[in-house]
Structure 1
Amino acid sequence: MTNLPCVIDAKAKLAECPRWDEINECLYFVDIDSFELHAFDTKNNRHDIRKFDEAIGCFSLTKEGGFIAALRSGVYTFESFNAELKPYWLADYDQETTRFNDGRCDFNGRFLAGTMYSPKDAFKGALHQFSKGENKVLDQAAWTSNGLAFSPDGKTMYYSDTPNHVVYQFDYDMGTGEASNKRDFIRFPHGNGRPDGAAVDSEGNYWSALYQGQRIVKISPQGNILEEYPVPAIYPTMVAFGGKDMKTLFISTCRGAHSEEELKDYPQAGGIFAMDVTTPGLIEARFDQ
């Protein structure tokens, strides 16, 4: 166990998609299993929660200051935290078996969001790209879409399939939004954590939360593990860079997967933890399509 501070003791069932708003100094995240979007204003120490009628997997901020979010039933925009949902794309998959999970925007403002296929008996998880009112599927070969991130130059896209313990790389054309040349970036041995959500720092290192692995790993662009950091929760889910200098790494965690016995040792599981890093992260791209 480590002494990483818990900056938001949210006790979320499944905290995911931490996202830093550098303009308002606010940290957002979702609790997928509680159908919630959270906003923590670091300047005023204010914590607001919006409840939806269905699971929200991921979201991005927009250039206008609103949101685009991937819910189970599709993708929606809303102009402010509590504003009305406006349909952008309605799901054409079986909502009983499939929902959106991880996602973010590319540097040209396209929104990418991946789905997970709950039965996990076929590779039906897909990576969708939303731009100018249209949907394009970039990849459909995962059980659970996760770990989406881009290299600082935007030419490499990362994408993980958590249950299969693998992170992939793609060549990415930021001009056209095309992803090609899929290959393994890194595979983790079974029984020692699975690659969940991730973020890339300004030097191109890929930081991955190892679900069921109790740690965060920093991986070089060449796929070598450089550093490992223990987390006071068995199930870290994602990381995000933030803070005024982008040198704070926020770590979301899951509470719902812990047993009552485990929660005695990890009482703040489901919270957001934070650690200082030496290399700043990248400012999060915003939806502009």
Structure 2
Amino acid sequence: MEIEVVVPGGATIGEAPTWVAAEAALYWIDIKRPALYRLDPATGAQRSWPMPSDIGAFALTADPPGAVVALRTGLFRLDFASDKLDRLAPPPFDPKLFRFNEGACDINGRFWIGVMFDPLTEASPPLKSSMHSFTLAGGLRPEPDAAELHNGMAWSADNEIFYLSHSQRQAIFAYEFDPAAGRLGAPRLFASVPKDDGLPDGAAIDDLGGYWCALHGGGRLRRYKPSGAVDCDIALPVSQPTMCAFGGADLEDLYVTSASDQLMPEQRRREPLAGALLKLRPGVSGLARSYLVR
């Protein structure tokens, strides 16, 4: 399969590709060289908003145009016109031990934000922290799911299933979901990922109900059938893909972010595209994903 390099290697931890159809643009972040980016694929032009601390997730705002950014130091509102950051909420965890990791908006504009145990200094064995949701009106709300590392957020076409990975457990779960109330129901194990295949990272859903998962450390994208059975793997020229998102006018392009952190110098020489933003056409269309927080 032809794989196009959209942005060359170099991101420390590229993440959260988000297609905005109204702008024909792709937003994404670099967590550890913290910044939010907006890419115009037609021209290659890219704008960036540097951040003062690790950025784990974002959601866009319509009025005024901007974003809610989930930083290690809390939730902030970014105004695109002025570049000004206004704090909305302090971090719901000890920022010396945790940071936000991955986020996604449900159909009603509630911003779901996971966490990662990522201590700034040597610390105890990995600890768990709660996932949260956020609205502009209601603020942060703790959710009944705790993990060392949340990833893989996605919703089924009917919005009644919420997918979520506990990456350190090598597990992907499917939760019953009430879209009106924004409530999680009972989880079930959707898929287990063998350690040799990599960590289950960010994900996307196609219009046939397939769940596409980036396998961090495994150098591949894996499509799961709605049953949870493995359908196929697509090998990538990077060992640490982090997330995938459908985009383009027909949602037939699949964008993939990747990371270069924790690679030794010899690995970096063998993997010049580490940290690149990639694009491929897997032969299926994606579901339009919500991205506006309300």
TM-score normalised per structure 1: 0.94
The one-letter code matched in structure 1 to 2:140 is N
Aligned match of 2:168: 163
Distance between the aligned counterparts of 2:50 and 2:155, measured in 1?
A: 30
Q: 2:50 aligned with 1:51, yes or no?
A: yes
Distance between the aligned counterparts of 2:249 and 2:130, measured in 1?
A: 34
Distance between the aligned counterparts of 2:213 and 2:186, measured in 1?
A: 22
Aligned match of 2:10: 11
Aligned match of 1:233: 238
Q: 2:126 aligned with 1:94, yes or no?
A: no
The one-letter code matched in structure 1 to 2:239 is I
Aligned match of 2:128: 124
Residue 3 of structure 1, CA deviation? 5.1
Cα 1:97/1:81, change in 2 over 3 Å: farther
Distance between the aligned counterparts of 1:3 and 1:282, measured in 2?
A: 22
- Superposed CA offset, 1:160-190 (max 9, x none): 1112211111100001011010121111112
Distance between the aligned counterparts of 2:103 and 2:76, measured in 1?
A: 14
Say which SS state the counterpart of residue 168 (structure 2) adopts: helix
Residue 202 of structure 1, CA deviation? 1.8
Alignment of 1:28-43 (within 5 A): 28-43=27-42
Say which SS state the counterpart of residue 152 (structure 1) adopts: coil
Aligned match of 1:189: 194
Say which SS state the counterpart of residue 196 (structure 2) adopts: coil
The one-letter code matched in structure 1 to 2:35 is E
Residue 264 of structure 1, CA deviation? 2.2
- Superposed CA offset, 1:95-136 (max 9, x none): 000100111100111101101112583551321111223222
Distance between the aligned counterparts of 2:276 and 2:69, measured in 1?
A: 21
Aligned match of 1:152: 157
Aligned match of 1:252: 257
Kept after mapping to 2: 8 A contact 1:124/1:140: no
Distance between the aligned counterparts of 1:21 and 1:287, measured in 2?
A: 10
TM-score normalised per structure 2: 0.93
Say which SS state the counterpart of residue 195 (structure 2) adopts: coil
Cα 1:21/1:82, change in 2 over 3 Å: farther
- Superposed CA offset, 1:205-240 (max 9, x none): 111000000100011111011111001011110001
Aligned match of 1:263: 268
Distance between the aligned counterparts of 2:73 and 2:251, measured in 1?
A: 33
| Bigger mean CA offset, 65-74 vs 100-109 | 65-74
Which of these residues, 174, 180, 185, is aligned with residue 180 of structure 1? Answer: 185
Gaps of 5+ in 2: none
| Bigger mean CA offset, 255-264 vs 220-229 | 255-264
Distance between the aligned counterparts of 2:124 and 2:249, measured in 1?
A: 40
Distance between the aligned counterparts of 1:58 and 1:175, measured in 2?
A: 23
Say which SS state the counterpart of residue 267 (structure 2) adopts: helix
Alignment of 1:127-146 (within 5 A): 127-131=131-135, 132-146=137-151
Kept after mapping to 2: 8 A contact 1:151/1:157: yes
Say which SS state the counterpart of residue 267 (structure 1) adopts: coil
Distance between the aligned counterparts of 2:201 and 2:262, measured in 1?
A: 14
Cα 1:98/1:42, change in 2 over 3 Å: same
Kept after mapping to 2: 8 A contact 1:169/1:182: yes
Gaps of 5+ in 1: none
The one-letter code matched in structure 2 to 1:87 is R
Kept after mapping to 1: 8 A contact 2:60/2:293: no
Residue 52 of structure 1, CA deviation? 1.1
Residue 197 of structure 1, CA deviation? 0.6
User: Percent of pairs identical after alignment?
Assistant: 30
Kept after mapping to 1: 8 A contact 2:74/2:90: yes
Kept after mapping to 2: 8 A contact 1:16/1:31: yes
Residue 81 of structure 1, CA deviation? 6.4
Kept after mapping to 1: 8 A contact 2:28/2:38: yes
